[in-house]
Structure 1
Amino acid sequence: MCGLTAVYYTETTTRPDSSEISELLSASLAKIQHRGPDYTGVWVSPDCSVGLGHVRLSIIDLDHGQQPLSDENERIHCVVTGEIYDHERIRDELIAQGFTFKTKSDSELVVQLYKRDGLDLLSSLRGEFAFVLYDSTRRLMLAARDRFGIKPLYYTISDGRLLIASEMKAFLAFGWKAKWDIDSVVHNGDLGDDRTVFKGVNKLMAGHSLVFRPTGYLKVQSYWDITYSNIDTPNVSTVDEMISNVRAHLFDAIRLRLRSDVPVGVYLSGGIDSAAIAGMAMHLLRQNNPDAKLATFTLAFPDAGDNDEGPIAHRTAIFLGAEEHMVNITEKELVDSFEATLWHVEQPIWAFHAPGKYLLSKFVQSQGYKVVLSGEGADEFLGGYAWLPVDYLRQPDSPGLALGLELPTDTEREAMLNRIQMATVPVFSLSKNSYTDVSLARKMLGGISAHRAYAAATSAGAELYNSRAIAVAGEPDVPRAIAEGIDPSVRNKAVSGEWHPLNVASYVTAKTILMKSILNHMGERMEMAHSVEGRPPFLDHNFIEYVNTIPPSLKVRPIKNETSGTWAFTEKWILRQAVKPYVTEEVFLRRKLSYNAPPSRRTRGESLLVPLQAHLKVRITRANVERVGFLDWSFVEGLLAGYLTNPNFPADGSLDARAQLLLYVLSFIVLQERFDVPTWNN
């Protein structure tokens, strides 16, 4: 829930008066009003050095809990976004210890926990959150972001002030001027590290905190990180016990996220992740009320034929007895919402995933729902992506063998790995992929190739950029940028072989694709664009900490065909076993397919442009492309001409690879217009 903005004027900076700071905060909050339409509040310190602002989406303690919050002595002031779970238990504990609360809001825990534990308060917080706290006695500002980065938080130093906000657009009201960061653009700092496309603006990374003092001293540090068992550490539990434990931890995560003072729904697709959340949530609700109903919300593409997940989700909803909401979307609607989506995402995108979620969340809001459970996180931590078996095959799984699992021999494993690595990599990305190039980037992470695949899927090749950009930034090396953005201690675990390669790949997947892409353009930002709070139970840190102790072979499970003697992989095997009672057999058996928002198709001989072609033809002009400053018009022109005259319609419902790259180009055009970015000119 909610959005925040904050400003801290250093000792050497001229400070406006209180009323002017209040006006700046209010203008900043107006830029992110969509995050919290229920209440707006600001606070300015008596010495005018600090200002805090907050827009509220009321979910817990509807009649109270307005922010900014403060303690009873008006010494600690705080603005909080998101949800903190298990807050009743922690509140009771604090009250018993003599701490005083003004509201029943979960957010107030931050104030009282800080008074008790200081900077160590973060270990007590469970949930998705971001906050900024000011200790007026110490003149110290503390900002923090949840362990998985579900809630966004950005910061920049502008004219001697520290600015912090839920979204970068909030900085505009303070007079911040957006400028392109060419090195970040070319090497995709948005994916690999804490940079954005804008110079000097950083993401506060997941699981990190920031401390700022009036002298201008700024320190960012990690308070929590993903970790895994040693590659040879045996698991003391049986397979059945691990299945049971996964189920119990997931039930606990869902139970906490069903707590709300407003109705809660569930996003439901055709996959096992969302179906598991819906099925287990329904089970919990009916323990207290046999007649309980749960609203499910599904994005459907009736024109997409077999690529439409709507029918499968419909059968799941019937199985659950859910209150079903099917949202049918056309390509024109996706195209028409693409540019509005970019204003909320604030980073380049290359497909219709974000517009699809944008439209789905808009419908959820129209039905009066503020809270929806979602399925993000299972693929990253439970082996759900098609390219993860490659890294699974790089080393034997000793704990899996100790469990008595039938696994490929070293000879079989190496043969499968070599066969996959030598095969032609499917075209599913913005740039070329390979299992054999970028040797240094792979070596830095123990030889895995997952980050090479992510880089290809989300980053353009050198041909997109003009010679001036390449001269300044060098040719794109996104895999290396990703590797360099990984904590050195983790790189050491990868290189030394302390972690199994599948676990290294899962870590990197979570730190890149999940935390810096999916949760942004398919998760939180699209939900909050329409004042909807998404809650992903799979990203409960207690659940993940347990899952990360499970042997790799129970996530990416090799199954041998007794007739042919060949091996196949079942992704998320242990999750499937854990949730089997709560999903249909169809969903239990269904293999993961890439989520696509399919485009419409031209019939043979038809000359009319489909909506995406028509939009790109209008928006991607020489003037618009050259105004950005770093794109190569001759390359873009050829790309556009080819797509307009001879488009491809892949069988899996994905976009033509040229269309993906053109959407990436359009992203820069739109971001430049919306943020008033001057032409890059080195």
Structure 2
Amino acid sequence: MCGIAGAAWTSDGEPLAEESLRQMTGTLSHRGPDDEGVYLDTTSAGGVALGHRRLSIIDLAGGHQPLSNEDGTVWIVFNGEIYNYRELRPELEAQGHRFQTSTDTETIIHLYEQYGPRCVERLRGMFAFAIWDAGRQRLFMARDRIGQKPLFYRAEHGRITFGSELKSLLQIPGAPRELDPQAVDLFLTYQYVPHPWCILKGYSKLSPGHYAIWQNGSLHTERYWSPPYDDDSDPESLANPQLAESGSWTETQWRERLRETLTEAVRLRMRSDVPIGAFLSGGIDSTITAGLMQSLADSPIHTFSIGFPIAAFDERSYARQAAEHLKTNHHEYVVEPSALETLPRLIWHYDEPFGDSSAIPTMYLSEVTRREVTVALSGDGGDELFAGYPRYQAVRAAGILDRLPGFVRSAFGWNGWQQFPEGAGHKSTTRRFKRFMLAMSRPPEVRYLRWVGMFNTPEMRRQLYSPEYREQVGDFDSAEFLLNAYAHCRGRDFVTRTTCVDMLSYLPCDIMTKVDIASMAFGLEARSPFLDHHVAELAARMPLSLKMSGTRSKKVLTDTFSDLIPGSIQNRSKMGFGVPIDHWFRNELKDLLHDTLLGETARARGFFNEEFVRGMVESHISGRVNECYRLWNLLIFEQWCQAFLDRTPAACHAEV
């Protein structure tokens, strides 16, 4: 796992100086503490500058980057892991390619020479890379299918710059830092800035499953992969018309293929020349991952969990049960999360405003795990692929209610739901019921946004914005991001379509961003077997009846891997991985909340309606309404503005 940065320019573009390139890579040193390298070349047609910071995982001695092909005409900087590089190498050698190292990085170079941009279709892994093709004066960039590795870029006249993190691009002299009002609107809707937007104008994120070609001063992006949710055929029938005509697989066949595919994904992700372990929360997905690792290992694997003194946020007992069942070498830590201590570090590392508060425990877990290992496997992706979130049950229940007579459904639009008491705690039954009913009068797609969004209606955001800022946002509709994701999956039941939407939006933009930044902050590589694209494609084609049965979620996982999962874990309720921000805002963060959101600095920006924000703060502190998540997003946004707009990222780093 690494950090990459660089630029390419035409004869009329501005070159990137080596000093600037080294400042860009220096800002990424946490992603690659083991090695660094740069490559620069300038001709009459233009030039290129490639920079790299390395976290050594494979071929520790020979993996220096930037790396070139045999004659130095193709150069690469790469962040990620290609898990099938050993399988690809003999084929490439048979086609005449000569290897200088034992790295997965060099495999990409030769695949590009052989297949051009379509090389990405042969890769099994997580990646973000940039290839400079000197003969064509072309920069080729690509990002993995599901968006596990990030890639920011800025295309301007005669030049393109790129980096693993936005802060690296901000090290370039004269780099603009102008807020994009549409991106702010998206952040306040979803608690993240989705691809391809960036919080700053003029910058973009390469979308998952896409590659980009910059040549002759122009940029072209293209999608090369989509999850096959619209194809509900079993995998064998795709290549066997007779099977397709005779019907689909049995449940046993689906389970056998799932076990085989996920086991292979784990086996490939255990390839490492450095110590390796697994995150273990005691949930189904992490337990399966650790269990498959243990079944493939010759000795007890290292597993890691953290717990909190607050019982509602502490999963240690389940993790302990899973570790004892699997006989792993388990490491357990108790932490006292402190937002006051963690916030500056979190803001600096995440580059853009990022409102998922579970980033805090994820950073704690990454920090303690890195003390023992350099690579950790996780269970990320299991909920999205196998319908594990409780909200999918709500989606199904709403679909049933939609079939009721119109005079019954008219009650869903009752204004009185707005006054319905929420109860204590953000997970209270009454709060969830209120949110459910308030959205029921809406179309299913909009309803889902109401459930998962933060400031989740245009009306609410209009109340939040000042009149001047409302004009800057204009008629931009942040809901289009989610609605466009629904358009990728039209032919399946609505619950399956919703899992597809989460696969295309929430998973890469929230979960993968959270895990990548939190782990790389401590030089830890996180690998996710569930996100192997073979596993993802299998799950996408799988019938919903295998994933959900009655009130059971992830049925096919618990049935397929029941030997790895203790009985006490198989049917436990999902806890999530959070911190008590509702309590913090009424106690230790009360002053920070007031000083940040209602202070002179925030008011002077003129973004928000001061009285509306004050009303939210007072309603939450008094206990009348639980506004903890919305207030957390506003707090994160203002703290980000102070770190990235009022100061330089480098200065913020110095303070962290």
TM-score normalised by L of structure 2: 0.87
**Which of 558, 566, 582 is 1:584 aligned to?**
566
Counterpart CA distance in 1 for 2:15 and 2:203 is 22
User: Is the contact made by 1:40 and 1:56 (CA closer than 8 Å) also made in structure 2?
Assistant: yes
Bigger mean CA offset, 452-461 vs 581-590: 452-461
Counterpart CA distance in 1 for 2:411 and 2:384 is 21
Q: Flag the 1:393–1:245 CA change in 2: closer, same or farther, 3 A.
A: farther
- 1:364 match: 369
- 1:406 match: none
In the TM superposition, what are the counterparts of 1:394-543 in structure 2 within 5 Å? 414=403, 422=412, 434-436=438-440, 439=443, 442=444, 449-456=447-454, 461-474=461-474, 477-484=477-484, 486=485, 491=487, 493-494=489-490, 498-521=491-514, 523-543=515-535
For residue 619 of structure 1, report the CA deviation from its aligned partner.
Answer: 3.2
User: Is the contact made by 1:265 and 1:294 (CA closer than 8 Å) also made in structure 2?
Assistant: yes
Please give the root-mean-square deviation of Cα atoms over the aligned residues, in Å: 3.0
User: Is the contact made by 1:193 and 1:482 (CA closer than 8 Å) also made in structure 2?
Assistant: no
The amino acid of 2:147's aligned partner reads G
DSSP 3-state at the match of 2:505:
helix
For residue 81 of structure 1, report the CA deviation from its aligned partner.
Answer: 0.4
The amino acid of 2:93's aligned partner reads I
User: Is the contact made by 1:269 and 1:298 (CA closer than 8 Å) also made in structure 2?
Assistant: yes
**Which of 79, 99, 102 is 1:101 aligned to?**
99
Q: Flag the 1:346–1:600 CA change in 2: closer, same or farther, 3 A.
A: same
- 1:220 match: 221
In the TM superposition, what are the counterparts of 1:6-45 in structure 2 within 5 Å? 6-15=6-15, 21-45=17-41
Q: Flag the 1:31–1:420 CA change in 2: closer, same or farther, 3 A.
A: farther
Matched, 1:352 2:369: no
DSSP 3-state at the match of 1:266:
strand
- 1:373 match: 377
Q: Flag the 1:232–1:223 CA change in 2: closer, same or farther, 3 A.
A: closer
Counterpart CA distance in 2 for 1:223 and 1:243 is 28
The amino acid of 1:3's aligned partner reads G
- 1:84 match: 82
User: Is the contact made by 2:412 and 2:441 (CA closer than 8 Å) also made in structure 1?
Assistant: no
Counterpart CA distance in 1 for 2:471 and 2:402 is 43
State the percentage of identical aligned residues.
Answer: 28
DSSP 3-state at the match of 1:5:
strand
For residue 351 of structure 1, report the CA deviation from its aligned partner.
Answer: 4.8
Counterpart CA distance in 2 for 1:457 and 1:148 is 26
Question: How many residues matched?
Answer: 614
The amino acid of 1:223's aligned partner reads Y
Counterpart CA distance in 2 for 1:29 and 1:14 is 19
Counterpart CA distance in 2 for 1:340 and 1:180 is 21
Q: Deviations over 1:266-304 (max 9, x none)?
A: 11113111111111111111xxx2xx12111112112x1
Counterpart CA distance in 1 for 2:402 and 2:232 is 17
- 2:122 match: 124
DSSP 3-state at the match of 1:195:
coil
Q: Flag the 1:117–1:480 CA change in 2: closer, same or farther, 3 A.
A: closer
Matched, 1:545 2:537: yes
DSSP 3-state at the match of 1:348:
coil
In the TM superposition, what are the counterparts of 1:599-610 in structure 2 within 5 Å? 599=581, 610=587
**Which of 150, 165, 168 is 1:167 aligned to?**
165
DSSP 3-state at the match of 2:4:
strand
- 2:241 match: none
User: Is the contact made by 1:178 and 1:677 (CA closer than 8 Å) also made in structure 2?
Assistant: no
Q: Flag the 1:231–1:533 CA change in 2: closer, same or farther, 3 A.
A: closer
Counterpart CA distance in 2 for 1:354 and 1:247 is 30
Bigger mean CA offset, 474-483 vs 310-319: 474-483
For residue 544 of structure 1, report the CA deviation from its aligned partner.
Answer: 1.1
Matched, 1:675 2:650: no
Matched, 1:631 2:608: yes
Bigger mean CA offset, 458-467 vs 380-389: 458-467
Counterpart CA distance in 2 for 1:456 and 1:421 is 24
User: Is the contact made by 2:82 and 2:124 (CA closer than 8 Å) also made in structure 1?
Assistant: yes
Matched, 1:572 2:554: yes
In the TM superposition, what are the counterparts of 1:310-329 in structure 2 within 5 Å? 310-329=316-335
Task: Give ranges in structure 2 of 5+ residues lacking alignment.
Answer: 235-243, 648-656
User: Is the contact made by 1:177 and 1:677 (CA closer than 8 Å) also made in structure 2?
Assistant: no
- 2:183 match: 184
- 1:561 match: none
For residue 456 of structure 1, report the CA deviation from its aligned partner.
Answer: 3.9
For residue 506 of structure 1, report the CA deviation from its aligned partner.
Answer: 1.2
For residue 352 of structure 1, report the CA deviation from its aligned partner.
Answer: 2.8
User: Is the contact made by 2:278 and 2:304 (CA closer than 8 Å) also made in structure 1?
Assistant: yes
The amino acid of 1:146's aligned partner reads D
User: Is the contact made by 2:229 and 2:492 (CA closer than 8 Å) also made in structure 1?
Assistant: yes
For residue 111 of structure 1, report the CA deviation from its aligned partner.
Answer: 0.5
- 1:240 match: 252
**Which of 337, 341, 345 is 1:340 aligned to?**
345
Q: Deviations over 1:626-681 (max 9, x none)?
A: 2444122222233334444x258xxxxxxx84232222122222222222359xxx
- 2:577 match: 595
User: Is the contact made by 1:438 and 1:479 (CA closer than 8 Å) also made in structure 2?
Assistant: no
User: Is the contact made by 1:154 and 1:164 (CA closer than 8 Å) also made in structure 2?
Assistant: yes
Task: Give ranges in structure 1 of 5+ residues lacking alignment.
Answer: 396-410, 559-568, 603-607, 649-655
- 2:290 match: 278
- 1:403 match: none
Q: Flag the 1:28–1:306 CA change in 2: closer, same or farther, 3 A.
A: closer
User: Is the contact made by 1:625 and 1:633 (CA closer than 8 Å) also made in structure 2?
Assistant: no
- 2:597 match: 620
Q: Flag the 1:660–1:601 CA change in 2: closer, same or farther, 3 A.
A: closer
- 1:652 match: none
Q: Flag the 1:217–1:330 CA change in 2: closer, same or farther, 3 A.
A: same
For residue 39 of structure 1, report the CA deviation from its aligned partner.
Answer: 0.6
For residue 550 of structure 1, report the CA deviation from its aligned partner.
Answer: 1.2
Counterpart CA distance in 2 for 1:458 and 1:98 is 56
Matched, 1:258 2:235: no
Counterpart CA distance in 2 for 1:432 and 1:389 is 14
Counterpart CA distance in 2 for 1:512 and 1:421 is 32
The amino acid of 1:548's aligned partner reads A
For residue 164 of structure 1, report the CA deviation from its aligned partner.
Answer: 0.8
TM-score normalised by L of structure 1: 0.84
Counterpart CA distance in 1 for 2:586 and 2:251 is 54
The amino acid of 1:300's aligned partner reads G
For residue 436 of structure 1, report the CA deviation from its aligned partner.
Answer: 3.7
DSSP 3-state at the match of 1:630:
coil
Q: Deviations over 1:460-514 (max 9, x none)?
A: 7333221111123247843334214x3xxx62752xxx22222211111111111
Q: Deviations over 1:536-572 (max 9, x none)?
A: 11000011111122111111222xxxxxxxxxx2111
- 2:635 match: 666
The amino acid of 1:543's aligned partner reads V
Matched, 1:382 2:386: yes
DSSP 3-state at the match of 1:668:
helix
